[in-house]
Amino acid sequence: MAPEHLYKYRPFTSECDVEFARQIVCENTIYFAPPCTFNDPFDSRPAFTFDAPLEEMKAYYHRMCTQRMPHLTERECEAELEKALADPDTDLRTLQGQQKIQQLHSRILAEEVGVLCLSSENDHILMWSHYADCHKGLCLRFDPHAAFLRDARPIGYESRRELINPFRDRDDDMAAKTFLMKSRHWLYEGEWRAIRYEGPGLVEFEPEALTGVVLGAHASQEAEERLREWVGRRRAPLELLRAYPDQQEFRLHIRALDG
Protein backbone atom coordinates (compact mmCIF):
# COMPACT_ATOMS: atom_id res chain seq x y z
CA MET A 1 0.00 0.00 0.00
CA ALA A 2 1.37 3.39 -0.97
CA PRO A 3 2.10 5.92 1.80
CA GLU A 4 0.07 9.10 2.13
CA HIS A 5 2.83 11.10 0.40
CA LEU A 6 6.07 10.48 -1.45
CA TYR A 7 8.98 12.91 -1.13
CA LYS A 8 11.92 13.99 -3.25
CA TYR A 9 14.83 15.56 -1.34
CA ARG A 10 16.84 18.09 -3.31
CA PRO A 11 19.66 20.60 -2.71
CA PHE A 12 18.86 24.26 -3.40
CA THR A 13 22.24 25.98 -3.57
CA SER A 14 23.79 26.00 -7.03
CA GLU A 15 22.16 27.50 -10.13
CA CYS A 16 21.62 23.98 -11.43
CA ASP A 17 19.86 22.97 -8.18
CA VAL A 18 17.59 26.00 -8.31
CA GLU A 19 16.74 25.43 -11.98
CA PHE A 20 15.90 21.78 -11.28
CA ALA A 21 13.50 22.85 -8.52
CA ARG A 22 12.00 25.59 -10.69
CA GLN A 23 11.18 23.09 -13.44
CA ILE A 24 9.38 20.89 -10.94
CA VAL A 25 7.41 23.65 -9.22
CA CYS A 26 6.71 25.95 -12.16
CA GLU A 27 6.76 23.67 -15.21
CA ASN A 28 5.54 20.39 -13.65
CA THR A 29 8.43 18.34 -15.04
CA ILE A 30 10.85 16.09 -13.19
CA TYR A 31 13.95 14.19 -14.26
CA PHE A 32 14.13 10.40 -14.29
CA ALA A 33 17.85 9.66 -13.94
CA PRO A 34 19.93 6.80 -15.38
CA PRO A 35 20.93 4.38 -12.59
CA CYS A 36 24.59 4.65 -13.59
CA THR A 37 24.57 8.04 -11.81
CA PHE A 38 23.44 6.63 -8.44
CA ASN A 39 25.71 6.82 -5.39
CA ASP A 40 25.49 3.12 -4.42
CA PRO A 41 28.01 1.00 -6.42
CA PHE A 42 25.67 -2.01 -6.17
CA ASP A 43 22.50 -0.14 -7.17
CA SER A 44 21.02 -1.42 -10.46
CA ARG A 45 24.16 -3.46 -11.08
CA PRO A 46 22.88 -6.99 -10.51
CA ALA A 47 24.89 -10.15 -9.99
CA PHE A 48 24.30 -13.00 -12.43
CA THR A 49 24.26 -16.77 -12.60
CA PHE A 50 24.23 -18.64 -15.92
CA ASP A 51 23.17 -22.08 -14.78
CA ALA A 52 20.90 -23.57 -17.46
CA PRO A 53 20.84 -26.36 -20.06
CA LEU A 54 21.69 -25.59 -23.69
CA GLU A 55 18.06 -25.52 -24.83
CA GLU A 56 17.26 -22.73 -22.35
CA MET A 57 20.33 -20.83 -23.54
CA LYS A 58 19.15 -21.13 -27.14
CA ALA A 59 15.70 -19.85 -26.21
CA TYR A 60 17.35 -16.88 -24.49
CA TYR A 61 19.51 -16.11 -27.53
CA HIS A 62 16.44 -16.20 -29.75
CA ARG A 63 14.50 -13.90 -27.40
CA MET A 64 17.36 -11.40 -27.27
CA CYS A 65 17.75 -11.52 -31.04
CA THR A 66 14.10 -10.66 -31.65
CA GLN A 67 14.17 -7.89 -29.04
CA ARG A 68 17.44 -6.21 -30.06
CA MET A 69 17.27 -6.90 -33.83
CA PRO A 70 13.55 -7.03 -34.72
CA HIS A 71 14.31 -6.50 -38.41
CA LEU A 72 15.83 -10.00 -38.74
CA THR A 73 13.83 -12.90 -40.13
CA GLU A 74 13.43 -16.19 -38.27
CA ARG A 75 16.10 -17.81 -40.46
CA GLU A 76 18.47 -14.91 -39.84
CA CYS A 77 17.90 -15.21 -36.07
CA GLU A 78 18.78 -18.89 -36.26
CA ALA A 79 21.99 -18.01 -38.12
CA GLU A 80 22.87 -15.44 -35.45
CA LEU A 81 22.30 -18.08 -32.79
CA GLU A 82 24.63 -20.58 -34.44
CA LYS A 83 27.26 -17.88 -34.91
CA ALA A 84 27.03 -16.85 -31.24
CA LEU A 85 27.41 -20.43 -30.01
CA ALA A 86 30.46 -20.94 -32.24
CA ASP A 87 32.30 -17.90 -30.86
CA PRO A 88 33.88 -18.22 -27.35
CA ASP A 89 33.30 -14.49 -26.82
CA THR A 90 29.53 -14.86 -27.21
CA ASP A 91 28.94 -18.50 -26.22
CA LEU A 92 27.32 -18.33 -22.79
CA ARG A 93 28.81 -21.70 -21.87
CA THR A 94 32.21 -19.95 -21.68
CA LEU A 95 33.49 -17.48 -19.11
CA GLN A 96 34.14 -14.89 -21.84
CA GLY A 97 30.58 -15.15 -23.11
CA GLN A 98 29.13 -14.87 -19.62
CA GLN A 99 31.20 -11.78 -18.87
CA LYS A 100 30.16 -10.15 -22.14
CA ILE A 101 26.43 -10.74 -21.67
CA GLN A 102 26.67 -9.53 -18.08
CA GLN A 103 28.31 -6.32 -19.31
CA LEU A 104 25.57 -5.92 -21.93
CA HIS A 105 22.76 -6.38 -19.41
CA SER A 106 24.44 -4.05 -16.93
CA ARG A 107 24.87 -1.34 -19.57
CA ILE A 108 21.26 -1.62 -20.76
CA LEU A 109 19.89 -1.55 -17.22
CA ALA A 110 22.17 1.24 -16.00
CA GLU A 111 21.97 3.57 -19.01
CA GLU A 112 18.77 2.88 -20.97
CA VAL A 113 16.27 3.16 -18.11
CA GLY A 114 15.12 6.25 -16.21
CA VAL A 115 14.41 6.03 -12.47
CA LEU A 116 12.85 8.51 -10.06
CA CYS A 117 13.90 7.87 -6.45
CA LEU A 118 11.54 9.02 -3.70
CA SER A 119 11.10 8.51 0.03
CA SER A 120 8.15 7.85 2.28
CA GLU A 121 9.73 10.11 4.96
CA ASN A 122 9.98 13.91 5.08
CA ASP A 123 11.62 14.33 8.49
CA HIS A 124 14.61 11.98 8.39
CA ILE A 125 17.71 13.80 9.64
CA LEU A 126 20.15 11.79 7.50
CA MET A 127 18.07 12.18 4.33
CA TRP A 128 18.10 15.95 4.79
CA SER A 129 21.85 15.81 5.38
CA HIS A 130 22.72 13.55 2.44
CA TYR A 131 20.29 14.67 -0.26
CA ALA A 132 19.25 18.21 0.66
CA ASP A 133 22.61 19.92 1.18
CA CYS A 134 22.83 19.52 4.96
CA HIS A 135 19.29 20.80 5.58
CA LYS A 136 19.75 23.88 3.35
CA GLY A 137 17.69 22.35 0.55
CA LEU A 138 14.09 21.28 0.20
CA CYS A 139 11.81 18.27 0.07
CA LEU A 140 9.09 18.05 -2.59
CA ARG A 141 5.83 16.34 -1.61
CA PHE A 142 3.94 14.30 -4.21
CA ASP A 143 0.63 12.50 -4.34
CA PRO A 144 1.56 8.79 -4.78
CA HIS A 145 -1.69 8.20 -6.69
CA ALA A 146 -0.71 10.64 -9.45
CA ALA A 147 -0.51 9.08 -12.92
CA PHE A 148 3.27 9.33 -13.24
CA LEU A 149 3.73 7.56 -9.87
CA ARG A 150 0.99 4.97 -10.31
CA ASP A 151 3.50 2.15 -10.83
CA ALA A 152 5.98 3.28 -8.14
CA ARG A 153 7.14 0.45 -5.93
CA PRO A 154 8.99 0.24 -2.59
CA ILE A 155 12.59 -0.90 -2.42
CA GLY A 156 13.27 -4.26 -0.78
CA TYR A 157 16.28 -4.19 1.55
CA GLU A 158 18.20 -7.45 1.75
CA SER A 159 21.30 -8.78 3.49
CA ARG A 160 22.32 -10.83 0.42
CA ARG A 161 22.19 -10.12 -3.31
CA GLU A 162 19.73 -12.14 -5.36
CA LEU A 163 21.24 -13.47 -8.56
CA ILE A 164 19.70 -12.89 -11.98
CA ASN A 165 19.51 -15.87 -14.29
CA PRO A 166 18.78 -14.37 -17.74
CA PHE A 167 17.79 -17.78 -19.09
CA ARG A 168 15.14 -18.47 -16.48
CA ASP A 169 14.02 -15.19 -14.91
CA ARG A 170 11.10 -13.33 -16.43
CA ASP A 171 11.62 -9.71 -17.44
CA ASP A 172 9.66 -8.38 -14.46
CA ASP A 173 11.68 -10.57 -12.06
CA MET A 174 14.94 -9.28 -13.52
CA ALA A 175 13.67 -5.71 -13.25
CA ALA A 176 12.71 -6.20 -9.59
CA LYS A 177 16.09 -7.74 -8.71
CA THR A 178 17.82 -4.88 -10.52
CA PHE A 179 15.90 -1.75 -9.60
CA LEU A 180 13.89 -2.64 -6.49
CA MET A 181 16.49 -4.33 -4.30
CA LYS A 182 19.26 -2.74 -2.21
CA SER A 183 21.46 -3.58 0.73
CA ARG A 184 19.99 -3.27 4.22
CA HIS A 185 22.52 -0.48 4.78
CA TRP A 186 20.02 1.79 2.97
CA LEU A 187 16.96 0.77 4.96
CA TYR A 188 16.67 4.18 6.61
CA GLU A 189 15.80 5.83 3.27
CA GLY A 190 12.33 4.25 3.01
CA GLU A 191 12.77 4.46 -0.75
CA TRP A 192 10.15 4.10 -3.47
CA ARG A 193 10.90 4.12 -7.18
CA ALA A 194 9.10 4.95 -10.39
CA ILE A 195 10.77 3.38 -13.45
CA ARG A 196 10.64 4.64 -17.02
CA TYR A 197 11.70 2.00 -19.54
CA GLU A 198 11.60 4.54 -22.37
CA GLY A 199 14.87 5.90 -21.01
CA PRO A 200 16.14 8.73 -18.79
CA GLY A 201 14.80 12.25 -19.25
CA LEU A 202 12.25 14.84 -18.18
CA VAL A 203 8.73 13.61 -17.46
CA GLU A 204 5.72 15.90 -17.30
CA PHE A 205 3.21 15.42 -14.49
CA GLU A 206 -0.18 16.93 -13.73
CA PRO A 207 0.12 20.09 -11.55
CA GLU A 208 -2.05 18.55 -8.81
CA ALA A 209 0.53 15.78 -8.32
CA LEU A 210 2.85 18.18 -6.46
CA THR A 211 1.08 19.07 -3.22
CA GLY A 212 3.75 20.69 -1.05
CA VAL A 213 7.34 21.81 -0.59
CA VAL A 214 9.23 21.54 2.70
CA LEU A 215 12.15 23.90 3.28
CA GLY A 216 15.07 22.53 5.25
CA ALA A 217 15.86 23.69 8.77
CA HIS A 218 18.88 25.65 7.44
CA ALA A 219 17.23 26.95 4.26
CA SER A 220 17.87 30.65 3.66
CA GLN A 221 15.34 33.45 3.65
CA GLU A 222 16.18 33.95 -0.01
CA ALA A 223 15.21 30.36 -0.73
CA GLU A 224 11.89 30.85 1.05
CA GLU A 225 11.15 34.06 -0.87
CA ARG A 226 11.94 32.41 -4.19
CA LEU A 227 9.65 29.49 -3.43
CA ARG A 228 6.84 31.83 -2.39
CA GLU A 229 7.18 33.56 -5.75
CA TRP A 230 6.99 30.25 -7.61
CA VAL A 231 4.00 29.07 -5.61
CA GLY A 232 2.21 32.28 -6.53
CA ARG A 233 2.54 31.45 -10.23
CA ARG A 234 0.93 28.02 -10.01
CA ARG A 235 -2.67 27.30 -10.92
CA ALA A 236 -2.75 24.26 -8.60
CA PRO A 237 -2.47 24.88 -4.83
CA LEU A 238 0.84 24.09 -3.15
CA GLU A 239 1.48 24.02 0.59
CA LEU A 240 4.73 25.62 1.74
CA LEU A 241 6.29 24.15 4.90
CA ARG A 242 9.53 24.21 6.84
CA ALA A 243 11.47 21.76 9.01
CA TYR A 244 12.27 22.89 12.57
CA PRO A 245 14.70 21.12 14.93
CA ASP A 246 13.21 19.99 18.20
CA GLN A 247 14.60 21.87 21.21
CA GLN A 248 15.12 18.76 23.34
CA GLU A 249 15.20 15.66 21.10
CA PHE A 250 16.94 14.49 17.94
CA ARG A 251 13.95 15.03 15.68
CA LEU A 252 12.48 17.47 13.17
CA HIS A 253 9.04 19.05 13.14
CA ILE A 254 7.41 19.89 9.80
CA ARG A 255 5.12 22.92 10.03
CA ALA A 256 3.27 25.03 7.49
CA LEU A 257 4.60 28.52 6.90
CA ASP A 258 2.32 31.47 7.55
CA GLY A 259 1.02 33.51 4.68
What are 108-128's pLDDT values in tens digits? 777 789 999 999 999 999 999
Residue 87 has pLDDT above 90, yes or no: no
Within a domain: 40: no
Considering the domain architecture, whether residues 195 and 75 belong to the same structural domain is answered as no
Does residue 199 share a domain with residue 86?
A: no
Whether 170 is covered by a domain: the verdict is no
- H/E segment holding residue 27: helix 15-27
Query: Can you give the pLDDT at residue 259?
Result: 57
142 and 212 fall within a common domain = yes
Whether residue 98 is found in the same domain as residue 122: no
**Same domain (yes/no): 99, 119:** no
252, burial (CB in 10 Å: exposed 0-12, middle 13-18, buried 19+): buried
For the chain, the average pLDDT equals 91
Per-residue pLDDT at 27 exceeds 70 = yes
pLDDT value, residue 26: 96
Residues 60, 107 share a domain:
yes
Query: 25 with 135, same domain?
Result: yes
Together in a domain, 25 and 52: no
Q: In terms of domains, do 103 and 203 share one?
A: no
User: Nearest-CA neighbor of 124 among 255, 250, 24?
Assistant: 250
Question: Do residue 142 and residue 87 come from a single domain?
Answer: no
**Structure confidence at residue 84 (pLDDT):** 81
User: Which residues are within 8 A (CB) of 68 and not within 5 positions of it... i.e. 6 or more apart?
Assistant: none
**Residue 39, domain member (yes or no):** no
Confirm whether 171 is domain-assigned: no
Q: Per 3-state DSSP, what percentage of the chain is helix, strand, and coil (rounded to 5)? A: 40, 25, 35
Structural domain that includes position 210: 6-34+114-155+190-256
- Overall average pLDDT of the 168-174 stretch: 87
Q: Is residue 137 part of a domain?
A: yes
Same domain, 123 and 240: yes
Q: Is the pLDDT of residue 45 over 90?
A: no
Q: What confidence score (pLDDT) does residue 203 get?
A: 97
User: What is the count of structural domains for the chain?
Assistant: 2
Shared-domain flag, residues 79 and 25:
no
Q: What is d(CA 9, CA 197) in angstroms, rounded to the nearest whole number?
A: 23
Q: How confident is the model at residue 130 (pLDDT cuts 50, 70, 90)?
A: very high
- Dihedral sign computed on CA atoms, order 183, 188, 189, 190: positive
The answer as to whether 142 is a domain residue is yes
Establish if 70 belongs to a structural domain.
Answer: yes
Question: Sorting pLDDT into bands at 50, 70 and 90, what band is 243?
Answer: very high
Residue 90 resides in a domain? yes
